Amino acid sequence: MSLYSVYVAFCFVALLLVLAYTGWLIYIHTSPFHVAVNRIPGPKYFPIVGNALEIAGGLDHLLHTFQIKWAQKYGGIYRIFIGTRCFIPISSPELMEVILSSQKTIDKGTSYSELIPWLGQGLLISSGDLWRSRRKLLTPAFHFSILNTFVEVFNEQSRVLCGIIGDICQSFADGKSEMDVYPFLAKCSLDVICEVAMGTKINAQTDDSDYYKAVCRMGQVMITKFQKPWLENQRIFSLSALGKEHDQLLKTLHGFTEDIIRKRRKSFIYVSNNNEKNESGIKNRLPLLDLLLQASDDGKFLSDLDIRNEIDTFMFEGHDTVSSLMGWFLYCMAINPDCQENAWTELSGVFDNSERDCTQEDIPNLKYLECCIKETLRMYPSVPAFERTVQEDVQIGKYLIPAGCTLGCLTLATHRNPEVFPDPLVFNPERFFADEANGRHPYAYFPFSAGPRNCIGQRFALLELKIILSSLIRRFKFEFSSDAELLIPSHQITLKSLTGINLIVSRRCNQ
């Protein structure tokens, strides 16, 4: 091919690119959709890729860009494009109220589709009439009278957790051990939710559990897939080694749940026919699975697949979010020793320096501990962001958000708003003292979401957290190495540290 031919071909391609770019510019300046979203401040974006190149990098970079960099630069609402999809991240409490209190903008965003192979159309992902009917069905499972029956489970698993950590500490001459506490917390929370949701024990804390390994690995696989955009193509993903591992993990997870459902259904029928205590030994304890079986009416209302979806959803949500919070709580206690000592002093007064179980009557007296939990959730919300899909045009503040956009509710950015929380990077539990919190905008703090689609299990989670964390703080002192770098938060479905939660743990001297 002659140089002249190459030159002509190059000019032709260049002309096509110029025409395509010009056409794109005309389109984004004239189409009603783009005219509406371009009124919203935000970074410049490019054809096809949008702003994707700016968020490429590690999961900590992704979190920082969305929640800090762009939120500070553009304010409480801004606009970006990931590929051709338009996202409207929001962190203004006033605008958040419009979204979260709406009965219309309740459908989850497109990112949740990654969870469908595992969780199906469970309560987390479902929408419309299906979501409303399931929410109504499941709400009684979290009534305070039922929650109280699980205090025994929380205490039992707390004792196991404390025993394991205590044995590790005692194996060192000085009684101190540096350890990544997160795996221990994750196994404890998984044992709790298995017994509460399914009425069965897997003993993840003491035994080698394939189910625990599969739960942990599934989260890692999903994050790896997110970091490799070419795997978004389902055919490419299914042919990849990661896709094949994903399918094998699904078999383990679904197989475990299905086996429990089959066994529990037989037991449930026997217990119902004979009016006897269930497998847990407590007649009034109603695992979530039993509630679903009760409503299934032999598959006429809920199929076994429907039940599996709901159980898998609660296993995922009830394990991952609680583990995240407990890890960040102990980290906050370690780097704020004065707060840890204040919490320990309160607990010593309530429990009289004993190792007795925490009772329902003790819970109202754990006021400072509760403030520490709330402040941890402010700085390190377990779910740092979540999405809503705009199904029909909606007015949010002075902007018209057209149908087809995805709203990003930035929990972390909202919680760190210096206009609402002065010195937002300072851990200060007193922010949640009654006189300090009075008058604060109700949508400035929403660790469990808010409005009609708030977290159905938030009272359950707080009760579990207070019992487990009070047990740990009573028995152990947590410290952070003086020469270690502060932990780096990252968005890994829930908020996790990139390097684990490595703390120095020792028995309290009064033990």
Secondary structure of 71-132 in HEC code, one letter for each residue: HHHHCCECCEEECCEEEEEECCHHHHHHHHCCCCCCCECHHHHHHHHHHCCCCCCCCHHHHH
Token pair recorded at residue 464: 């579990």
**Segment holding 345, helix H or strand E:** helix 337-351
pLDDT score, position 427? 98
pLDDT score, position 17? 65
pLDDT score, position 282? 44
Question: What is the 8-class DSSP label of residue 485?
Answer: P
pLDDT tens-digit readout, 26-74: 556 678 888 999 999 999 988 877 888 888 777 888 899 999 999 999 9
Looking at CATH, the fold of the domain delimited by 31-507 is given as Cytochrome p450 (1.10.630)
Q: pTM for this structure?
A: 0.90
pLDDT score, position 273? 52
- Stretches in the chain below the pLDDT threshold 50: 270, 279-283, 511
pLDDT score, position 25? 56
Q: Decide the pairing of beta strands 489-492 and 494-497.
A: antiparallel
